[in-house]
Amino acid sequence: MREACDLILKDLHGLMEAVRTRAEEHRRTPMIGRTHGVHAEPMTFGLKLALWYAELSRDITRVSRAREVISVGKLSGAVGTFAHLPPSIEADVCRTLGLEPAPVASQVIQRDRHSELLSALAIAGSSLEKFALEIRGLQKTEIGEVEEPFARGQKGSSAMPHKRNPIGCEQIVGLARLLRANAGAAFENNALWHERDISHSSVERVIVPDSFIVLDHMLRRFTRIVAGMVVYPDRMKENLERSRGVVFSGTVLLELARRGVSREQAYEWVQRNAMRAFHEQRDFKQLLLADPDVTRVLPPADVERAFDLNEQLKHVDHIFGRVFQEVAV
Amino acid sequence: MREACDLILKDLHGLMEAVRTRAEEHRRTPMIGRTHGVHAEPMTFGLKLALWYAELSRDITRVSRAREVISVGKLSGAVGTFAHLPPSIEADVCRTLGLEPAPVASQVIQRDRHSELLSALAIAGSSLEKFALEIRGLQKTEIGEVEEPFARGQKGSSAMPHKRNPIGCEQIVGLARLLRANAGAAFENNALWHERDISHSSVERVIVPDSFIVLDHMLRRFTRIVAGMVVYPDRMKENLERSRGVVFSGTVLLELARRGVSREQAYEWVQRNAMRAFHEQRDFKQLLLADPDVTRVLPPADVERAFDLNEQLKHVDHIFGRVFQEVAV
Amino acid sequence: MREACDLILKDLHGLMEAVRTRAEEHRRTPMIGRTHGVHAEPMTFGLKLALWYAELSRDITRVSRAREVISVGKLSGAVGTFAHLPPSIEADVCRTLGLEPAPVASQVIQRDRHSELLSALAIAGSSLEKFALEIRGLQKTEIGEVEEPFARGQKGSSAMPHKRNPIGCEQIVGLARLLRANAGAAFENNALWHERDISHSSVERVIVPDSFIVLDHMLRRFTRIVAGMVVYPDRMKENLERSRGVVFSGTVLLELARRGVSREQAYEWVQRNAMRAFHEQRDFKQLLLADPDVTRVLPPADVERAFDLNEQLKHVDHIFGRVFQEVAV
Amino acid sequence: MREACDLILKDLHGLMEAVRTRAEEHRRTPMIGRTHGVHAEPMTFGLKLALWYAELSRDITRVSRAREVISVGKLSGAVGTFAHLPPSIEADVCRTLGLEPAPVASQVIQRDRHSELLSALAIAGSSLEKFALEIRGLQKTEIGEVEEPFARGQKGSSAMPHKRNPIGCEQIVGLARLLRANAGAAFENNALWHERDISHSSVERVIVPDSFIVLDHMLRRFTRIVAGMVVYPDRMKENLERSRGVVFSGTVLLELARRGVSREQAYEWVQRNAMRAFHEQRDFKQLLLADPDVTRVLPPADVERAFDLNEQLKHVDHIFGRVFQEVAV
């Protein structure tokens, strides 16, 4: 299992490198951030990737710790008493194998250790699920901001030649379900009878290799997807502008509040113009500039500044600094 | 959640102390060790408790790490860009709250952190499940080696006045199922859409308080059970002797092999006498002493030594040393 | 639990009625069907709802069966032998309670019955999860085809006044996770020791009421969402036309094949024009009409017919007939 | 999947036959019934098997229904509209394959159907888990009432020649964990995006064959175990008598109550004698006969009758009649 952990760790590092490269590339590629699936405020594509990078570093920490937790051995006999061999032999054998002797054991190493391992793999799987789900969301036809790599000449769909489907990401999303199911089975394996019953064994023969193989496949496939994914900055810009500026309403709200308008009053003014922009398909900023309630408090130049993308994104470099320098990997 | 973690940690420490006290008390209380539910080789009751102690220390490590992982804050706005507040305010607020600023966030702190927490609680629950299952096994009528504390005057069963049921341990076993179910739901919560959807929220409102409350109840109840459990050393001795010495067959086997008998041959001799002891209800040692194949290789004095309990248990102190001194808690 | 089942069944029927009403309303409201999140072929919004209706009828079947499976009683004593009361009393009591006597029991009714119940609830929850996920998908800003009901004057987001978030559907998606976690705990409850241990009890006290309450809340909330959801047929039409006709490529492919063009050849011709339509933002039908390879085989009138929406949707009424008349509820 | 269901159903029937044979054989083999792992009241070994039989018949019902639920087909195209083929072709193809056309479908058959199947398999697995756990409990050395078949010449344990371990039953207990984990993954597969995403596919490729293969292996192995298990009626009788009659305390309690002693008073008298029997290792019946409080109300002949095993087991035949004649399989 240690070798399998090492492989997972290596591939986690590989994915991190791929993520970092694309994050730097798109550090300042603006796009709309979405909460609840709905446009929220501007961000950059690189920021999404920075978040992935930081989460992968936590996955590495979890898998590394789990690797250490399972790197124990025991040679203390049928019930853990060293009845037939002294502890010194256990120490020698463990040293040879690069293991720590478990301080105490029954017939077997206790399965809370394996539970920790399978949990770490399942959580790493859910990280990849989240990232793959992101790409699936951005590849929806109407959004079209990112696409999985699609080899020239590759068929998209047997029946529908126009389609380019994020099937790699969909597979990764599915496989995460297997990993958490396996972790659930691992949790059940800990409570063995007395000095051990062997019920855990048939379970582990399935879940341990399956989880390692599945996660490693996910990591390798997703690394290729990240390295090769096609990003459409024009489409990101187009989508960002699609809502005619209402994504800056939070800034306007705050600017009004900062100038002494009650939050409730400011909310009403902003929402009223946002709804008009939405329903009448008009530009939000122009509506605000034409609303005397607003302009009485917020001079036109300040309205303009509230719509300044660079102003919104001025802390991106700071975040990159925190993620890529401060997070030890 | 940090306060809840602190409570869990405090109660884990409390349980460890209770376990340690009883472990020392029964360090040399001999009993039969059981694998597959079947008599294996002698051990002591204290050794079981030492194993619990070591596992609880790993639970503390896991919960402590998870506590640290969730002790992060963010004040970076709707999509994590610090569009309206600078990072310095986040830093101030986090410092005041005793949190680390998350290096990067979406609208929310990422849920891999919560998954780690719920896993740690679920694994700790499975540790208690194992310990409680042990007591349930030892309290079976025919075994009768340990009993849950039973208050004087307490009714055992409404219909069967003779019964003393390990209902506390049964409850603990059941509640572990809830904890791992909750961890499974937590794993699903990580893959949110884009800069967050709120699907995790209704789940967390149930699983986070439920898991903390359930585990804390388990810890407190099990601590009382450990502190007050009634141990029957006479019954342990009686059970140990019940199989007329065949539990020493492993030692005999090894002694024969050490003197040059092939393992296969030795196995046959030992099993043949073990089966007679079982079927004819005769003493295994006497059968061996009357078996010329055996005594030709293994002189009577050496046969006697193979049945020496002190010899079998000579490394118990060493194990206690490893568990109670070397495992930092 | 029977009363709780009845409530669930009543609310499932209520949801079906709400779904049916909206399905009839949008039986012929055209929209793009999406596979892999990517435009596939045209369909109608009513068809989605017809599919929900049929699935809900299966949920009703499952919950009804589970209701029957748990509607059993037993009064056969501590280990199921009728040692102190004859079966006739059990029969009388069960008749009074409207229960069937379990043909055989231990101290308790066997928990495979409860597992079936909790599974039925979890599967019904996953149905609602799917439906709610559909609305969340259609409410994404760029798609904008359907919105959860949004009360006039309701605030969308405390910080972003422009937002209308599908928080009801997000909650329903989250709660489905709890239901399946609870089913997992129920599965573990079946294997009790001998004539019963009480480990299942603490689990059931949580999962049985929680699952009923959660599912019933989901049903009621989702019924309100279905009844009040705002559908934007213009937006559906706009999205349908967004890909400039390439969603009809499957029909063109089949028409070519029907006229003797090899599938491979037809695929190449169609994909080539589809890609041009996509990359050059041109109308797919016009490209086909200008492609001599295509028109040599497929006369312009036949190309036109391949883009006829009514032709594509001509079997919708047939499907509605199957779902709303043939599926007994 | 239908063929796999048929195989499971065939093997469920095979197991039922094996269970029925052993149930008839041990219909009147008395043994102690155990609740909470503690002696409760007398029963017969055949009664345990009758309970298994009835549960297996419910498993057959569940798997049969699930088989029907998944026996549907669809040929309605990429989004379920029959855009390119009329429903009549679907009907023909389905008829040929022995399937029902799904009344409505997206690109795929809905996955609530597969969830029902995987649940049915998981619940059947938990039934076998319960049965195997029973044998494991009865094979514990101190109990020794039943043993898994053990081939002559088979080695019990490589290190401990005296051991006969219920490893088949332990494996069955373990494998049930896999089945329920797989059902959990199946539940997650239902909520696909719009007219389908393919995330379910990779999951189903693992869980569907694995669950069928695992359950079928469990059924076959457990059928051999049931057919060949060694039952020790003498040991059952010995254990029944081990508690010196206190297992009849419930009858004594009821007889006292029937004669007008308050339940509380009767409980005190009975418990007091039961505790003496336990602590002083004396015969419970003799203690009662020597207790003037008791004999004043309950004449010696009635005390004797309360300890009559035949009286306790007089309804066993009735239960067998209900299980083996009334339960249609």
Output the average pLDDT for chain D: 94
| H/E element, C305 | helix C300-306
Non-local CB neighbours of A258 within 8 Å, separated by 6+ positions: none
Q: What pLDDT, on a 0 to 100 scale, did the predictor assign at position B329?
A: 41
Mean pLDDT of D54-58: 98
Residue C42 DSSP class: E
Q: What is the pLDDT of residues C21-40, one digit of tens each?
A: 999 999 999 999 999 999 99
Do the Cβ atoms of D72 and D109 come closer than 8 Å?
Answer: yes
Nearest C-alpha of chain C: how many angstroms from D192?
A: 6
Query: Given CA atoms C168, C174, C180, C181 in this order, what sign does their dihedral have?
Result: negative
Instruction: Give the tokens for residue A206.
Output: 């399935």
Do the Cβ atoms of D238 and B146 come closer than 8 Å?
Answer: no
Q: What pLDDT, on a 0 to 100 scale, did the predictor assign at position D328?
A: 47
Q: What pLDDT, on a 0 to 100 scale, did the predictor assign at position D243?
A: 81
Residues 135-164 of B with CB under 8 A from C: 136, 157, 159-160
Do the Cβ atoms of C266 and C273 come closer than 8 Å?
Answer: no
CB distance from D258 to chain B under 8 Å?
no
What residues of B are annotated to the active site?
A: 36, 157
> Which residues partner with C73 through β-bridges?
C101
Measured CA to CA, the distance from residue A139 to residue A166 in angstroms comes to 7
Q: Which of D202, D183, D187 is nearest to D112 (CA)?
A: D187
| H/E element, C92 | helix C87-97
Contact between D267 and B161 using a beta-carbon 8 Å cutoff: yes
CB distance from A204 to chain C under 8 Å?
no
Q: Which of D114, C318, A58, A238 is nearest to B119 (CA)?
A: A58
Non-local CB neighbours of C69 within 8 Å, separated by 6+ positions: C113, C116, C117, D58
A132 class by beta-carbon count within 10 Å (0-12 exposed, 13-18 middle, 19+ buried)? buried
For residue A198, which residues of chain B lie inside 8 Å, CB to CB?
Answer: 36
Measured CA to CA, the distance from residue D31 to residue D43 in angstroms comes to 6
pTM of the complete model: 0.95
Lowest mean pLDDT among A143-157, C124-138, C154-168: C154-168
Give D164's pLDDT tier (boundaries 50, 70, 90).
confident
pLDDT higher than threshold 90 for residue D91: yes
Contact between A110 and B55 using a beta-carbon 8 Å cutoff: yes
- Say which of A84, A157, A199, A315 is annotated catalytic: A157
CB distance from A207 to chain D under 8 Å?
yes
Q: Number of B to D CB contacts under 8 A, please give it.
A: 142
Contact between C51 and D115 using a beta-carbon 8 Å cutoff: no
Measured CA to CA, the distance from residue A262 to residue A256 in angstroms comes to 8
CB distance from D249 to chain C under 8 Å?
no
Q: What pLDDT, on a 0 to 100 scale, did the predictor assign at position A281?
A: 86
Q: What pLDDT, on a 0 to 100 scale, did the predictor assign at position D93?
A: 97
Q: Which residue, among D113, D134, D194, would best test binding to C if mutated, counting the most C CBs under 10 Å from its CB?
A: D194
| H/E element, B249 | helix B249-258
- Tell me how long chain C is: 329
pLDDT tens across the length of chain A (329 residues): 899 999 999 999 999 999 999 999 999 999 999 999 999 999 999 999 999 999 999 999 999 999 999 999 999 999 999 998 999 999 999 999 999 999 999 999 999 999 999 999 999 999 999 999 999 999 999 999 999 998 766 666 666 666 789 999 999 999 999 999 999 999 999 999 999 999 999 999 999 999 999 999 999 999 999 999 999 999 999 999 988 888 888 889 989 999 999 989 999 999 899 888 888 889 999 999 999 999 999 999 999 998 999 999 999 999 999 999 854 44
Residues 58-97 of C with CB under 8 A from D: 58-59, 62, 65, 69, 76-84, 86-87
> Which residues partner with D42 through β-bridges?
D32
Mean pLDDT of C133-155: 89
Instruction: Give the tokens for residue B49.
Output: 């408790």
| H/E element, A231 | strand A230-231
For residue C278, which residues of chain A lie inside 8 Å, CB to CB?
Answer: 162
The more confident residue out of B188 and D160 is B188
Buried b (16+ CB within 10 A) or exposed e, C134-145: bbbbbbbbbbbb
Buried b (16+ CB within 10 A) or exposed e, B26-56: bbbbbbbbbbbbbbbbbbbbbbbbbbbbbbb
Measured CA to CA, the distance from residue A143 to residue A133 in angstroms comes to 14
Q: What pLDDT, on a 0 to 100 scale, did the predictor assign at position A164?
A: 87
B72 three-state secondary structure: strand
Mean pLDDT of D118-141: 98
Q: What pLDDT, on a 0 to 100 scale, did the predictor assign at position B278?
A: 80
**How many other CB atoms are there within 10 angstroms of residue B246's CB atom?**
27
Query: Which residue is it, tokens 């792992």?
Result: D37
- Report the C-alpha dihedral over residues B190, B196, B199, B200, rounded to 10 degrees: 40
Closest chain C residue to the Cα of A274, Cα to Cα: C162
For residue B313, which residues of chain A lie inside 8 Å, CB to CB?
Answer: 81, 83
Count CA atoms closer than 13 A to A111's CA, side-chain side. 29
pLDDT means over runs of 10, chain B (329 residues): 96 98 98 96 97 98 98 96 94 96 97 98 98 98 94 63 87 98 98 98 98 98 98 96 87 91 92 87 93 93 91 95 72
Buried b (16+ CB within 10 A) or exposed e, A3-31: ebbeebbebbeebbebbbebbeebbbbbb
Q: Phi first, then psi: what are they for D44, rounded to 5°? A: -125, 155
Output the average pLDDT for chain C: 94
Instruction: Give the tokens for residue B318.
Output: 């060493």
Instruction: Give the tokens for residue B40.
Output: 């294996």
- The pairs formed by A284-290 with CB atoms below 8 angstroms and a separation of 24 or more are A284/A243, A284/A244, A284/A245, A284/A246, A284/A248, A284/A249, A284/C162, A285/A245, A285/A248, A288/A252
Q: Which of A166, A169, A206, A167 is nearest to A188 (CA)?
A: A206
For residue C184, which residues of chain D lie inside 8 Å, CB to CB?
Answer: 180, 183-184
Instruction: Give the tokens for residue C212.
Output: 């009923």
Q: Which residue, among D36, D147, D172, would best test binding to B if mutated, counting the most B CBs under 10 Å from its CB?
A: D36
- Report the C-alpha dihedral over residues A153, A156, A162, A165, rounded to 10 degrees: -130
Do the Cβ atoms of A175 and D202 come closer than 8 Å?
Answer: yes
Does the interface ipTM go beyond 0.90? yes
Do the Cβ atoms of D19 and D53 come closer than 8 Å?
Answer: yes
Measured CA to CA, the distance from residue C85 to residue D250 in angstroms comes to 12
Measured CA to CA, the distance from residue D65 to residue D71 in angstroms comes to 10
Closest chain B residue to the Cα of D36, Cα to Cα: B165
Q: What is the pLDDT of residues C267-308, one digit of tens each?
A: 999 989 988 888 888 999 999 999 999 999 999 999 999 899
Contact between B116 and A327 using a beta-carbon 8 Å cutoff: no
Q: Which residue, among D177, D180, D194, D205, would best test binding to A if mutated, counting the most A CBs under 10 Å from its CB?
A: D177
Q: Which chains touch C (3 or more CB pairs under 8 A)?
A: A, B, D
Q: Phi first, then psi: what are they for C31, rounded to 5°? A: -160, 170
Q: What pLDDT, on a 0 to 100 scale, did the predictor assign at position A159?
A: 62
- In the residue annotation, C36 being an active-site residue is answered as yes
Q: What pLDDT, on a 0 to 100 scale, did the predictor assign at position D47?
A: 98
Q: Which of C118, A123, A165 is nearest to B122 (CA)?
A: A123
Do the Cβ atoms of D156 and D162 come closer than 8 Å?
Answer: yes
| H/E element, C35 | strand C30-35
Number of H helices, E strands in chain C: 14, 6
Q: What pLDDT, on a 0 to 100 scale, did the predictor assign at position D325?
A: 84
pLDDT higher than threshold 70 for residue D152: no
- In the residue annotation, C157 being an active-site residue is answered as yes
